[in-house]
Amino acid sequence: MGDSDQRSVEWRAMLERDLQHYLFENPDVLFPAQTISRKQKEVFIEGRRIDLLFEVDGIQYIVELKRDTIKREHIGQIFEYYGLMRQSHETAKFRMILVAPSIPAYRRISLEEFGIRCVEVPRLPESINERSALVKEAVGYQKRERAQSAFAIDPLSLSRLRFEDFLPPSTSTSLGFSRLMLEDGLPLVQKIFGAYEVKPVKMVRLPSDVLCIPEDDTHPDSRNCRVGVWWAFSFGHSEQLAKNDVPNISVNALPWGLDFAINAEVQPSQKVMRQRIDRSPERFDQLVLEHGDLQLQAWLKLEHQSYSFHWIPLVRRPKGTWKSRDLLGFYSRSELDFARLRTEWIKWIENQSQELTPIQAGHLERRNRNLNLALRLVRSFEKEDALWNLAYDERKTQLGAEYCKLKPLIDFFQ
């Protein structure tokens, strides 16, 4: 290490010590208008050193200081550290605040979805404006936290969690379950997919999307229902990668089950999926065979207002009955037949959907000029599945195993 590098390390270490002292003496910048009943510096819990510990309104806040920009390899370590703290003190309410000079937005999302508050402090606050910026950030986080609390789940309800609790139409309770499943699954997904940037994607509101379920090719008895809750993880190699440009993992609550899917929902990811399969069909077929439980689904998407859709499942092929040629062939036929599909399904939606407004009907007619066919490789947990008889912790373990089984295919599509 050269002299300049050594000086840089020493300077960052000094900044970390000074910032620790500053936050210890000025905790109100982290907890404005809250009651701080206890504060400690250099605390050891379960053999781990805690930079700062504050008790605020009965909650123990662990403050972890980092002297460098948060990198991808730090995320798993932080998750593990925070998870161990919460597990080893089940009766205490622990929360974590991560303070670093820079926390890239892509990584902040993962950390905050796991309940870790992120605070950027590039240098020791000296001016009133710098202090005010920290307070403003803290107030904004408090507001977001209060909004999130509306979806909090009673721990006792987890032991009674049933298949029916996920089914559409979505409710505030099922939305709360979906957010909890996202949070609980995130550390394992982060660990399994450590070579990628992992971005958790959650539902932010009850959906206005509509699922149209055709019973047969002529669909005389098709029906509409609101889609159920969902959560997802997208993968990339850098924080600059646009969301969903490659297939992601989505979990959707649907009338027939809880679907774990490798999901090419938008046109860029549909193109990636088809290109990768076309390039190596034998390898793709082998990966599907090794998984052993994947259905093929293809859903036509028709936008009825901005970012709200009617979803029409056109294909549901059971496991073991399809190969790469079926997926590619169906997409090619749908491209050739899109004009008919578009006309037929817009007419059906307009006839069947009592809630469709004239503005939405006009949007349907003006938009949807190009095929948007979501391609999904699905492991579905139906009502009869043994998953629904497991205790919550066992269920988390099994769902974690499902994420792991999908990794070879995610690797294939990268």
* pLDDT value at 219 more than 50: no
* pLDDT value at 171 more than 60: yes
Domain co-membership, 97 together with 239: no
Domain co-membership, 73 together with 209: no
Domain co-membership, 360 together with 242: yes
Cis before residue 169, ω within 30 degrees of 0?
yes
Average confidence score pLDDT of the chain: 87
Reduced to 3 states (helix: H, G, I; strand: E, B; else coil), residue 301 is: strand
Q: For residue 58, what are the CA distances in angstroms to 55, 100, 142, 153?
A: 6, 25, 16, 19
Domain count, the chain: 2
Domain co-membership, 336 together with 216: yes
Q: Which of 125, 149, 173 is the last residue of a domain?
A: 149
Q: Provide mean pLDDT across the span 311-323.
A: 95
> Would you state the pLDDT for residue 1?
53
**pLDDT interval class at 3 (50, 70, 90):** very low
- Tens digits of residue pLDDT in 20-79: 999 999 999 999 989 999 999 988 877 778 899 999 988 899 999 998 899 888 888 888
* pLDDT value at 2 more than 60: no
Which alpha helices (DSSP H) does 255-337 contain, by range?
A: 267-279, 281-291, 324-336
Q: Provide mean pLDDT across the span 349-365.
A: 87
**Using CA atoms, how far apart are residues 212 and 230, in angstroms rounded to an integer?**
17
Q: Provide mean pLDDT across the span 247-260.
A: 94
Q: For residue 54, what are the CA distances in angstroms to 21, 27, 391?
A: 13, 8, 34
> Would you state the pLDDT for residue 7?
43
- Full-model pTM: 0.86
Domain co-membership, 381 together with 408: yes
Residue 373: give its domain's CATH number.
3.30.930
**Using CA atoms, how far apart are residues 308 and 302, in angstroms rounded to an integer?**
8
Backbone angles phi, psi at 366, to 5 degrees: -75, -35
Domain co-membership, 182 together with 129: no
Please name which of 12, 329, 345 lies closest in space to residue 211, comparing C-alpha atoms. Answer: 345
Neighbours of 11 (CB within 10 A): 11
**pLDDT interval class at 122 (50, 70, 90):** confident
Burial letters for 210-221: b for 16+ Cβ neighbours within 10 Å, e otherwise? bbbbbeeeebee
Q: What is the CA radius of gyration of the chain?
A: 24
Domain co-membership, 348 together with 201: yes
**Using CA atoms, how far apart are residues 56 and 53, in angstroms rounded to an integer?**
10
Domain co-membership, 123 together with 19: yes
> Would you state the pLDDT for residue 12?
62
Among 91-95, 321-325, 378-382, where is mean pLDDT lowest? 91-95
Domain co-membership, 199 together with 243: yes
Residue 77: give its domain's CATH number.
3.40.1350.10
387: which DSSP letter?
A: G
Domain co-membership, 138 together with 179: no
- Tens digits of residue pLDDT in 319-346: 999 999 999 999 999 999 999 999 999 9
Q: Provide mean pLDDT across the span 158-180.
A: 87
Domain carrying residue 54: 3-149
160-164, 206-210, 222-226, range with greatest mean pLDDT: 160-164
Domain co-membership, 190 together with 218: yes
Domain co-membership, 385 together with 278: yes
**Using CA atoms, how far apart are residues 284 and 286, in angstroms rounded to an integer?**
5
Q: Provide mean pLDDT across the span 355-362.
A: 89
Instruction: For Cα atoms 199, 372, 189, give the angle at the middle one, nearest 5 degrees.
Output: 20
The amino acid at 177: F
Among 69-73, 130-134, 397-401, where is mean pLDDT lowest? 69-73
**Using CA atoms, how far apart are residues 309 and 307, in angstroms rounded to an integer?**
7
The answer to whether 120 and 100 have CB atoms below 8 angstroms apart is yes
Q: Which of 121, 149, 177 is the last residue of a domain?
A: 149
> Would you state the pLDDT for residue 58?
87
Q: Which of 92, 117, 149 is the last residue of a domain?
A: 149
Query: Which has more pLDDT, 132 or 242?
Result: 132
